[in-house]
Structure 1
Amino acid sequence: MKTKIKTYVVTSLFLVAFTYSGMAQTRKRTTTKTVTTRTISKRTPNRVSSTKVVYKTPKKKVVSVRTVPNRTIIKHKGRNYYYANNKFYTASRGRYIVIAPKIGFRIKTLPPNFRRVHYNNHIYFSVGGTFYSQVGSDYEVVEPEIGTIVYELPDNYEKVIIDGQTYYEYANILYEKVQVDGTRAYEVVGIIDME
């Protein structure tokens, strides 16, 4: 009788152990998914008239230099602009003033600190808040698509208020702070139309 009980107990334990190990091997695999969260504003701006934009610092100091060494001349819409050290300049009264790049400016080579930004099967090259797209052998300044994510704002960004909401602006591109996988990022939410 004792041997029969031992046999049943050992067999039962063996079946339980076998069933448990089988369950452990058939667990479902989990995949990670990138989740972007942001504060929902009343209305995302997309394209905004410059007359609706209020800058936190209304007067920005204009810095000019006398010369721009190793400059490249960029012809755009019949005017000459200048490019050197990842900055664009315009000539004014014998001096050179740093300007935000205009859509359509083209350069031959990207600075070494560029970053590739992928969005909607499109590859942008981002350098200091300027977005480029490769056109033949040149790189052309373009507007990024709404929804493009970057992880740093350019040095000269400005805080702006549009319809009571605060955004970040650089080169007429509006950004909103978001979280991507727990990391702070900035999403392109609009473009300022200059009027």
Structure 2
Amino acid sequence: MKSLFKKSMLPLVLVIAVSTSYSQTRRSTINENSRTSTSTRISSSRVTYKKEKTKVESVRTIPNRTVLKHNGQSYYYDNNKYYTLSRGRYIVIAPKVGFKIKVLPTNHKRISHRGFNYYYANGIFYVHLNNEYEVVDPEVGTIVSELPSGYEKVVIDGLTYYEYANILYEKIQVNGTRAYEVVGIIDIAS
């Protein structure tokens, strides 16, 4: 009986030890006094997109658009999406970090991570500051229940992730339900 117990427990202990050490190497550490995390930036040169071409969502007109400006760029907002005008067509884009709005998209969800509140809509993370909502990069470890349409599968160091607006997600299970955890930000400057 002891021999059977040892034979069955040894592989289990090894699996737990290996998976624990593996997960610790993939996660960054976060200082409890700060919202910034380390090792979240990933060079774009390390990222390989599974599809060579991406489908660009565009429309010819936006009937009820609102024009918003940020750092000299015009954003057109309608139906919970942001657009930019290019060659006579409106192309769906994600607003840049620092972009501010007065009212959140109607389909937003509130997400708490380490005592900090984000507002999440269509793959964009906002924080509430001075009666406005500002687009921010989320902290590593933040979990969302779904990805927006337009996400892409990417490979980094042989591992598959999901990317939208330069934010990298890993598919996980939370209480038996599929979810996505932020694991990094693609640094397009590198």
Please confirm whether the aligned pair reaches a TM-score higher than 0.5, indicating the same fold. Answer: yes
**Equivalent position SS for 2:23:** coil
- The aligned residue for residue 47 of structure 1 is 41
**TM-score after normalising by structure 1:** 0.73
Unaligned runs of 5+ in 1: 1-36
Measure how far apart 1:42 and its partner are: 6.1
Of 179-188 and 126-135, the range deviating more from structure 2: 179-188
**Equivalent position SS for 1:110:** coil
Q: Deviations over 1:36-63 (max 9, x none)?
A: x997386457211222211111101323
Unaligned runs of 5+ in 2: 1-18, 28-38
For the pair 1:88 / 2:82, whether they are aligned, the reply is yes
Distance 2:24 2:46 in 1: 16
Question: Which among 98, 101, 104 is matched to residue 92 of structure 2?
Answer: 98
- 1:98 partner letter: V
Note the 1:103-182 alignment, pairs <5 A: 103-182=97-176
**Partners of 1:74 and 1:105 within 8 A in 2:** no
Distance 1:98 1:144 in 2: 21
Identical positions, percent: 62
Measure how far apart 1:103 and its partner are: 0.9
Which structure has more relative contact order (CA 8 Å, sep 6+)? It is 1
**Equivalent position SS for 1:113:** coil
Measure how far apart 1:170 and its partner are: 0.9
Length, aligned pairs only: 159
Distance 1:175 1:41, change over 3 A: farther
- The aligned residue for residue 23 of structure 1 is none
Distance 1:173 1:142 in 2: 11
Measure how far apart 1:131 and its partner are: 0.8
**TM-score after normalising by structure 2:** 0.75
